[in-house]
Amino acid sequence: MTDLSACAQSSGPGERGAVLLIAHGSRRPEANADLVRLAGLLANDPEFDIIETSYLELATPDIPTGGRRCVARGATTVRMLPYFLSAGAHVVEDLEAHRTELSAEFPQVRFELCPHLGLHPLMVEIVRQRLREIAPAN
């Protein structure tokens, strides 16, 4: 299993860091558009040189294509961030397999699998906010 703490590290001197956002993917384009919007918001952050999106299934680009796009744009390190809430088989097994394959294809690039969103401390606040957004029934 990958050392997930590596994703907290910044790119070093001479490195060009990329973020590969990974969602499950949906047949509904509007569901996939959320990840694209998130990428747009992160693109304004000077900490990240390259932002790409990818989907595990049902949508394009797939994860290998997203990883290749990062490399084509000059990435020396690619942080693969699973936009998933739980550590199911996709997060634990499938994404690690993609990380391993991309690392073998591009041995000069470091691919790091970040922790999934999960029960991050801020998630409780997000849930509370969403619960408050529902208008009370009369």
The larger pLDDT score, comparing residue 81 to residue 134, is at 81
Q: Are 78 and 71 in contact (CB under 8 A)?
A: yes
How big is the chain by its Cα radius of gyration, in Å?
A: 16
Q: How far is CA 70 from the centre of its chain?
A: 12
pLDDT for position 11 = 59
Predicted confidence at residue 9, as pLDDT, reads 57
Distance CA 116, CA 114 (A): 6
Write out pLDDT tens, residues 10-44.
Answer: 556 678 999 999 999 999 999 999 999 999 999 98
Sequence-ordered strand ranges (E) for 9-94: 17-23, 50-55, 77-82
Tokens of 43: 């693109």
pTM (predicted TM-score): 0.86
pLDDT at residue 2 in the model: 40
Distance from C-alpha of 102 to C-alpha of 94, rounded to nearest angstrom: 12
What average pLDDT does range 1-7 have in this prediction? Answer: 47
The angle subtended at Cα 91 by Cα 131 and Cα 127, nearest 5°, is 10
Decide: 76 and 109 in contact? Cβ < 8 Å: yes
Q: Which residue ranges form the domains of the chain, and what is each CATH number?
A: 11-132 (3.40.50.1400)
Q: What is the pLDDT of residue 91?
A: 81
pLDDT digits (tens, 9 = 90+) for 46-101: 888 899 999 999 999 999 999 999 999 999 999 999 999 998 887 879 999 999 99
